[in-house]
Each structure stands twice: as structure tokens, then as C-alpha cells.
Amino acid sequence: MLDKRKFYINGQWVEPSSKNDFDVINPSDETVCAVISLGSQADTDAAVAAARSAFPSWSISTKADRIVLLERLYAIYERRMDEMAEVISMEMGAPIDFAKSSQAPSGTEAIEDFLNQLRKFEFEKQLDDSDNQLIYEPKGVCALITPWNWPISQVALKVIPAIAAGCTVILKPSEIAPLDSMIFAEMLEEAGCPAGVFNLVNGDGIGVGSQLTSHPDVDMVSFTGSTRAGALISHNAADDFKRVGLELGGKGANIVFADADEKAVKRGVRHCFNNTGQSCNAPTRMLVERSIYDKAVKIAKETAITTKTDIASKEGRHLGPLVSQLQYDKVQTLIQAGIDENATLVIGGTGKPEGLEKGYFVKPTIFADVNNEMTVARTEIFGPVLSMIPFDTEEEAIKIANDTPYGLENYIQTQDQERAKRVSKKLLSGVVEVNGKGLALGSPFGGYKHSGIGREGGEHGFNEFIEVKVVTGWS
């Protein structure tokens, strides 16, 4: 068991101001894998004060200095990649091969992306042929609150652009999966990050989270997590007009037209189950044109049958556990709701897979004959649960896809490129993925409606941490 009861404040590891221990649970076997401390108001105040003190000098540091820091960080991260993957696998249940291929490398991808953005960004430029000068300045002291499902990805997508822009930060990672963030803090320390530029305080949302979002010396809050928490954070930040960035939930529709390629349904099921369904952009509603609906249900069932579930430390392609008992109970309740509302249970259901009685494991589950009013079609389940809905026309598919409070990412499967373009323009979401083509490095990620405010990644993600000033009479 790891003892991680320290915070990183003002360039050094410090003891918490009071004892408030929290057990980090390995979801594969329900054992305690680490102990952290939850911060108090005094810890939060110390971290904010350190960031506020460091801001004047860091905000006017040169672009070259920031580039050097991030280049050093990249090299250190590469060296410790396997360690990062192992910690993520242990703390949140990502299968080790998946942690090594996708979870851990998302950190270096973010560093590479924002190094590209920083190298080409002009912090001062003339507005056309006028005497107006545009000056781009950092937003200030930023509170960054990150989730457990893609932990280091979200940490890097916030911390890197913030410090690249000249902001100083206080990171509060999820208390459920905080260990990757503590390794990241060690990396920044080794890279020579100046004292106070980056600070880390562990805590829960009610404690450190609320303290940061209402703190008078915090200028901006960037949060990834549930829509409910996002609304509370917005209220907290409103009194003193903090800048707020939110990346929240989703209930993505995957529209499979009759002319979709032969692998479209299988690809959609695997994408839904990826990360054990614990992704906000998971395509959890599969809308299938009625003429191929029965065939699609059969393919989906066959795909689920071949989907294995096992402990996270085991090599190979399989699903790991859900992250916690709370998450397990929630998913079980929602699966039961699908059964109670008379959706057709194709495969899976409540309870744990055979042979996996210990750990937060869930059966890969598929419901057919779902309508868009059912709980499983409207609620973000955050587990390996797919709802299949038939449709007759393109217009009906678009109407069903948009009939949700969310608008993060939707999917289209068709060989008709004109249809793909036409439908993508009518879908209310920040991202539309066509035929399994993923996002390029530097693409902005974020949503419409209840899925959030702002974007992460690329130029748009960098600009989230920038204020724009206009100076006239510049010569």
C-alpha cells in the first residue's frame, strides 16, 4: 500500500494541515492500494496563495522558457510512461495493455499538442492595418478539477495549456484516482517548474473542490465531470465572475445507415464498451436503419459474447472493472431500469460476470427495442451498456439523436459522403465522428447544451486560458 499523504505546494511536498485520510481502492480486488489526505481550507488557501504569488513573474516569462519547460516534461514523461500506465491501471481499473496503449500516452499527446500551439502562438499582433494592437495575456490563477475516468488525459489537457499560456494553477484530481496526478507533479518538479506555478491539493468535491471554485483569489475554473457538478461549480463561480470551462456528460448517438460498412456495428459496440463504458463520449445509443436492424442486433450480440472481462493487471484485450462500488451500484440500478421498462435484454444484465465475484465487474450488456423515452436511452450510464433503437428515415434518426439534453459527440456510419456531410451539420454536438475516423491531434473537444462550455485540445483549448486586450494608438 502506497502512502501518498502529501501535497505539492509552492515547489515542495508538504504535509497536510490536518489528518483526513482517504483510502484509494483497487477496483479489481477491492483492496486499499494507497492512502491520501483530503485537504482542508488551510491547504487550499496555501496552494492558492502560492499560485497567486508566482503569477506576476510566470505571466511575463518568455515563450522560449515555457517551451523549454514543456520539452523537459515531455522527455521525463516518456521515461516514466510504464510507471504512469501501471498506476492508472491500479487506481481506476484500466486493463494494463489499454493503460499502456491509450490512457498513459494521452499525457504526452497533450504535451506535444500544446507545444505545437505555443510555438506558433503570437502573444502580440497588429489588428489588420489599424493602429490597434492585440495583446494576449494569461487569465490568471486557475483551479483545475479533473475526473477519474481518463485521469492523466484530463490533467494534461488542463495543466499544460494553462502553464503554456502563462497561468499558474492548483490541480485537484479525483480523490478516487489521484496517484497519476502525483506522479505528474513529480515530473513537473524534475522538469524545473518554478515554485508556485503548479500546485496539487487532493480532496473531494464538497471540500477542496468547493473551496477552489468559490475562492476570491482564483480567476478561472476548468472542470471535467458530471453535468450536475458542473452546474454547482457554475453557481459557485458566478458571484465574482470567474471564467469557467466545463467538459461534462454525453449520451452519444451512433447512427448506422443501411449502407454502412460491414464492420460498423461491431466497431460501435467495441467503442461503447471501451474503457468499460466509462467515457463521456461513448456511443451508447446505436440508432440502426430498420432494414438492417435485426442483423445489427445479432452482430452486436456476437460482439458482446466475444468481449472478455478480467482484472486490470492481466495482459490482453478485455474490459476491466468499473472504478468504484458507487459506480457499480449505479450501473446495476440502470440496467435493472432497462429490464423494468421492457427493453429487450439481448445479453448481459445485472450481477457480475461468472468467476469475478470480487471487484466492481459488470456484464457487457445490450438492450434492443429501446425507445428514446426509456431511462437507458436518456441517462448517462457510464458502464458497458448499449441501447439499440430502430429508425426508418434520415430525418427520424436526426430527431432521435438530438432528443437529449447532451451534445458532446455523435457518430455516423454510411458510405454516402454527401449524406454524412448533410447529417453531421444537423447533429447538435461538438464532435461528429464518421465511419470510425478519430480526432486528429489538435482537434478541439467539447460539447453543446448540457455537455459543457468551451473546448479542450488544440488552438481552442489553448485559448481557453487567454484573455484578449486591445491597445489603440500603437506605433
Active site residues: 247, 280
Question: How far is 284 from 383, CA to CA, in rounded Å?
Answer: 9
- Give the Å distances, CA to CA, from 153 to 85, 99, 370: 12, 11, 33
Question: How far is 457 from 245, CA to CA, in rounded Å?
Answer: 13
* Residues 6+ away with beta carbon under 8 Å from 465: 138, 139, 142, 161, 162, 164, 165, 167, 220
401: how many CB neighbours lie within 10 A of its CB? Answer: 28
Question: How far is 223 from 466, CA to CA, in rounded Å?
Answer: 17
